[in-house]
Every structure is written in C-alpha cells, then in structure tokens.
Amino acid sequence: MSEPVRLARRVAELAGCTRADAEQYIRNGWVRVDGQVLEAPQHRVSGERVELDPAATLEAVEPATILLHKPAGYDAVSGDRPAAALVEPATRWAHDPSGIRPLKRHFLRLTPQVPLDAEASGLMVLTQDGRVWRRLTEDRDDIEHEYVVEVEGEMKPHGLQKLAHGLSYAGRVLPPCKVSWQSENRLRFAIKAVQGGQLRTMCAQVGLKVLSIRRLRIGRVALGKGPDGAMPAGSWRYLPAGERF
C-alpha cells in the first residue's frame, strides 16, 4: 500500500495541475474518492480510487441561497424549533430546477431572512449571499409578498375594501395592499412591509378568524411548481443565478 498523501497532491498529479488548482477542484465538489465526493483537500489517501469529474471547472462556487417551504409550527428566524434544521441534502426537492450541485458548504452559515410567523407556512429564505441579504433587508418595505389566508366567519360590510386600505396595526395606519377572494373561505393578499401577526389582526378587524396562512411569493420569487404541483412542505430548492427577488 502506498504512503498516505494529501488528496490535493494526488489530484494535482492526476490532472497535471498546480496544487492550488487541485484544492479548488476539491472544494468545488469535483473530486470523488472511491465514488464519494470529498471536499477536503487535506484528506489523506493511499490506495483509494481518486477521480476528477471530466466537467470540472475552476470557477468559484457562488454562495448559496435556499428556498424552503416552511411547515406550520416551525420558527423562521429564532425559536426552539428552527425551520433551518429542515435544510439537509435528504430534503432537497426532487424537482429543483436550479441544476446546482449540492456541496457541504451550502449548509453552513445560512442566515434566515424575511420573518414568517411560526404558525404560518410557506416560502422562507436562508442565504449565505450578502447581496441577497442586503436586498431582503434594505429593500424589505418595497418587496411585495403574496399570501393565501384561510378564514372563517362573516365579513363585516365593506370588509374587503377595509382590508385593502383603511386598517391600522401596532399604532400605525397600514398602507394600501391588494386583497381578493380566491374561494368562499380563502383570501389572497399581495402586501408589502407585513409584520408578525398583522394578517391575523387585519382579518379579525373585519370579523374573520384566520385558520391558516401560507406565503406563496416574495417579490418575483415563488415557492416553485413541478410535475406533481407545488414544492411540498419541508422541502427546499436552490435560488438559481437568474432568479431575483
């Protein structure tokens, strides 16, 4: 058996490249050891089969942004039951259209963005990308969110118009939003700068009790649909390079 050497050294020998390039190939997930992707250049190998993917490139790996369908009952940003714990390779949506290869680094230092009530479900964003972070924090009041809200009860006269404009929450008059009936017990909201608990309070002010809330869209980014329908609760997909909030 040969003397163990660093994986980066073995890849450099196989590919005829510099040690630095070999380390980049490894960190980018292009190297397999006995059929398994390894991302640690310092890993030591001896007689194992080391392979460099023929499609390997030295392009830097972009920081990941993950779109999770948060189930009801999980905390979006902070709490005892963090939704971020649902993000793992096994829960990736089978119909993720991004084409991004999953890497171990994609699951590190993910920062949750855009709060969502624990009892609500729907689109949640976790990101490593400072550009996405700035967009969702600095421009948050300008980004429209879409919600579907299941309700029961009898709406007060002119309730739909009041929901669209004319209510207050947390001591401030709410700006206009778009509200429509999707069915006899389902409202659709297209709304900006929504706060925790706001939709429930708005509905209560017009005589309705909220049964469930689901966020479908943040800006131009939606949950996503595949051949079997919408991405299911508990699943996630990558935000591809061409998709913008």
Q: Is the pLDDT of residue 114 over 70?
A: yes
- 183 and 122 inside one domain: no
- Domain at 198, CATH number: 3.30.70.1560
Residue 79 pLDDT level (bands cut at 50, 70, 90): confident
219: left (phi over 0), alpha (psi -120 to 50) or beta: left
> Is 57 contained in some domain?
no
Is 106:65 a contact under the CB 8 Å cutoff?
no
Q: Are residues 200 and 149 in the same domain?
A: yes
Which percentage of the chain shows pLDDT scores above 70? 100
Do 117 and 233 belong together in one domain? yes
Over residues 162-171, the mean pLDDT reads 94
For the cut 70, the answer to whether the pLDDT of residue 90 exceeds it is yes
Residue range 225-229: mean pLDDT, rounded: 90
Is 43 within a domain? yes
Query: Do 228 and 214 have their domain in common?
Result: no
118/177 same-domain check: no
Reported confidence tier of residue 98, pLDDT bands at 50, 70, 90: very high
Q: How is residue 234 written in tokens?
A: 């508990």
SS3 sequence, the chain? CCCCEEHHHHHHHHHCCCHHHHHHHHHCCCEEECCEECCCCCCEECCCCEEECCCCCCCCCCCCEEEEEECCCCECCCCCCEHHHHCCHHHECCCCCCCCCCCHHHHCCCEEECCCCCCCEEEEEEECCHHHHHHHHHCHHHCEEEEEEEEECCCCCCHHHHHHCCCEECCEECCCCEEEEEECCEEEEEEECCCCCHHHHHHHHCCCEEEEEEEEEECCEECCEECCEECCCCCEEECCCCCCC
Same domain (yes/no): 148, 209: yes
Who has greater pLDDT, 1 or 119?
119
The pLDDT of residue 202 is 97
Mean pLDDT for the chain overall: 93
Does 58 reside within a domain? no
**Residue 153 falls within a domain, yes or no?**
yes
Q: How many domains does the chain have?
A: 3
What pLDDT shows up at residue 40?
85
Would you say residue 56 has pLDDT above 70? Answer: yes
* 129: in domain: yes
**pTM, 2 dp:** 0.85
Give domain status of residue 244, yes or no: no
Q: Give 81's pLDDT tier (boundaries 50, 70, 90).
A: very high
Query: Residue 64 — very low, low, confident or very high, per pLDDT cuts 50/70/90?
Result: very high
CATH label of the domain that carries residue 87: 3.30.70.580
Domain match, 93 and 200 both:
no
Report which of residues 222 and 38 the model is more confident about.
Answer: 222
Q: Which residue has the tokens 């947390």?
A: 170
pLDDT for residue 2 is more than 80: no
Please compute the mean of the pLDDT values over residues 74-94 and round it to a whole number. 92
Residue 57 pLDDT level (bands cut at 50, 70, 90):
confident
In the predicted structure, residue 84 carries a pLDDT above the cut 80: yes
- Is the pLDDT at 137 greater than 70, yes or no? yes
Structural domain of residue 195, as residue ranges? 144-218
pLDDT at 1 over 60: no
Same domain, 204 and 94: no
Same domain, yes or no, for 148 and 187? yes
Residue 46 lies in a domain: yes
| pLDDT higher than threshold 70 for residue 209 | yes
Partners of residue 121 on adjacent β-strands: 214
Closest CA relative to residue 219, chosen from 190, 245, 183 = 245
